[in-house]
Structure 1
Amino acid sequence: MTTALLAAGVLQLADRLADIGPELIDEYWPLVKRLGWFLGVALLVTVPGWYLLVPSVSRIVRHRNRNNPTLEQAIARHLRLIVVVFGIAVGAAVAGFTGFLTDSAIVIAAATLALGVAAQSVVGSFVSGTVLVADPEFNVGDYVKWADGEGTIRSITLRVTRVQTPDGELVTIPNDVLTKQEITRPFGHGHFQVVQYVSLSYDDDLEAALAGLETAAEGLEQSLDAPSPQVYVDEFGGDAIVARVHYWIDEPDRREVFAARSTFARSAKQRLEAAGLTIAPAAKRNLQGAIEVADAA
């Protein structure tokens, strides 16, 4: 049954082709030529762009962001789309298929306006993503702070950036949000200064306490000799003298800073307690007033 239907269809197609005369061929031949020019020029533009331009740009992006394959894939995908659209546009222009653009200018303008309004946020994030990609100080693995949070950059795409917070959460942030506000990169710029505050008792020897804090900072494995650790009296509080300790670490990340602060705190506590000095003395309050006792009877 199926074979018979197929044979009948072939016979009908042969009959129709037999009816095509020279006049019909002459009528459609210009359109066939224009289609040939369109396909030829479109392929001539698209193929080199697809197999030469896109791989070259991908290699540059891969070298620039070795730990971010997501970005490389996103750029390659968008660039292929641009190459195809450009090839179609050039092919249409060479083949003479651009006349409908002038005939339908109002419709195309209205469609373009509607599309632009609808895609405003997406385009904004795309442009912002391009800016972030081009910024050499914004890379996968960097620890950054912005107005709404902080964390380590895990991936950068042309639309969003994904950041892992200190609590382990993965936050997806539109790129236009990041480019509209100040971004701080506390680590990764050479020497990093760590500042810690220690409360000391008014009753203890201040100079001995400051010397003990300086020795504790100098004894840190991570602490640099130059600049050397420094200890200052920061303020006279209501219950204690607040000392400020400065020391420097070379090229740390966030965990190394936390480890150094913890090591310094333990060392300072041991040294000051061994010297009979008090850290963070208890608050003292003077109470005044009278107490009335009611008669139980």
Structure 2
Amino acid sequence: MQNSATADPDFEVEGFLPLLIERLGSMYEGFVKLLPLLAVGLVVLILTWLLAKALSKLAGKAVRRSGSRRSLGELAATLTKVFVWILGLLTTATIVFPSLNPAAILSGLGIGGVIIGIAFQDTFQNFMAGVLIMLRKSMRVGDYIDAEGVEGRIEEINLRDTYLRRTDGELVIVPNNHLFENPVKVWTDPDFRRYEIVVGVAYDEDVDQARGVIQAAVNGLDLGPSGKDPQVFAREFGASSIDFTIRWWADPEPVGFHRTRDQVVAAIKRSLDEAGIEIPFPYRTLTFKEPLRLGREDAEAREAAE
């Protein structure tokens, strides 16, 4: 038979309220005891913020003063800030929760780090790629690069993305992992870059004479202080012409190619015209299955049909 006292709802409520009050009282006492620790932890966090801000600035300035690139200074500042915050958070956790110890926290961070690493794999790949890109000596802010069709001038390199400015003014934000895993052409790495075009002359022209005229034309141009003479080579037998390859060295900037190519093309065209050397149009030979009848009778027949 069921006990009437335990089945009474009033008895259950009267027994539950004291237990609830006791639990709330103990929680309140624990919170009051924890308040000094929370205050100390808050002070530690404020000090961590101030220290991270100050040390990151000092680290960035120290690296830049040593003559390193600006991106390396930003990297040193970021890593210093991350390191200080990790120490500050660990210190705060051990103060607020005295039962914790650094070994337990580090082991927990190890397991949590694996989980977070799997969840944010792409983010960490871009982070590590950003660090390695900043350490590169041959790619820096201000260089014009081309990576698998993505090209532009580097405006900023951070730990996740790289900002490229195209020649048409568009801004392209590229994940660092793309620049790290793919070949990157740094156009502005050398002081001068080699360019080339192809020019054809008619088969009736003298090859040696044409080469000399083209060579004299490009030799007379001011293409920059590269110290390297332009080169002219007979290239191949084209469909309608003997083709020559013209090579020269000039400013590696994109506008340098367009400016010097304009000079080279204009000078070659002018010199070949003055020498009477023909630059032929493409020739086409048309073959018909049946012979064409072109004459006065055909014209009269067409007029009669109309």
Q: In the alignment, which residue of structure 2 is the partner of 1:19?
A: none
Note if contact 1:45-1:87 (Cα within 8 Å) is conserved in structure 2: yes
Percent of pairs with identical residues: 25
- The aligned runs of 1:1-297 (5 Å cut-off) are 48-51=51-54, 53-60=55-62, 62=64, 64-66=68-70, 72=74, 76=77, 79-90=80-91, 92-93=93-94, 96-99=98-101, 102=104, 111-224=112-225, 226-249=227-250, 251-279=251-279, 281-289=280-288, 290-291=290-291
Structure 1 residue runs of 5 or longer lacking an equivalent are 1-23
Amino acid at match of 1:229: P
Going from structure 1 to structure 2, the CA distance change for 1:200 and 1:60 (only over 3 Å counts) comes to farther
Structure 2 residue runs of 5 or longer lacking an equivalent are 1-28
Going from structure 1 to structure 2, the CA distance change for 1:43 and 1:200 (only over 3 Å counts) comes to same
Partner Cα separation in structure 2 for residue 193 and residue 162 of structure 1: 27
Partner Cα separation in structure 2 for residue 147 and residue 122 of structure 1: 21
Cα distance per residue 1:147-184 (max 9 Å; x no partner):
13222112211100111223332111100111011001
Q: Under a length normalisation based on structure 1, what TM-score does the superposition of the two structures give? A: 0.73
Q: In the alignment, which residue of structure 2 is the partner of 1:13?
A: none
In our comparison, the structure showing a higher alpha carbon Rg is: 2
Amino acid at match of 1:142: D
Partner Cα separation in structure 2 for residue 176 and residue 270 of structure 1: 49
Partner Cα separation in structure 1 for residue 104 and residue 261 of structure 2: 69
Larger RCO, structure (CA 8 Å, separation 6 or more): 1
SS across alignment from 2:196: strand
Partner Cα separation in structure 1 for residue 132 and residue 286 of structure 2: 61
Partner Cα separation in structure 2 for residue 110 and residue 239 of structure 1: 71
Q: In the alignment, which residue of structure 1 is the partner of 2:20?
A: none
SS across alignment from 1:178: helix
Q: In the alignment, which residue of structure 2 is the partner of 1:11?
A: none
Q: Shift of the alpha carbon at 1:93?
A: 4.9
Which shifted more, 226-235 or 261-270? 226-235
Going from structure 1 to structure 2, the CA distance change for 1:103 and 1:45 (only over 3 Å counts) comes to closer
Q: Shift of the alpha carbon at 1:116?
A: 2.0
Note if contact 2:138-2:189 (Cα within 8 Å) is conserved in structure 1: no
SS across alignment from 2:156: strand
Partner Cα separation in structure 2 for residue 199 and residue 116 of structure 1: 59
User: Alignment length, in residue pairs?
Assistant: 264
Amino acid at match of 1:56: L
Q: Shift of the alpha carbon at 1:272?
A: 0.6
Q: Shift of the alpha carbon at 1:105?
A: 6.8
Amino acid at match of 2:100: T
Over the residues paired in the alignment, what is the CA RMSD in angstroms?
3.8
SS across alignment from 2:259: helix
Amino acid at match of 1:257: F
Partner Cα separation in structure 1 for residue 166 and residue 43 of structure 2: 52
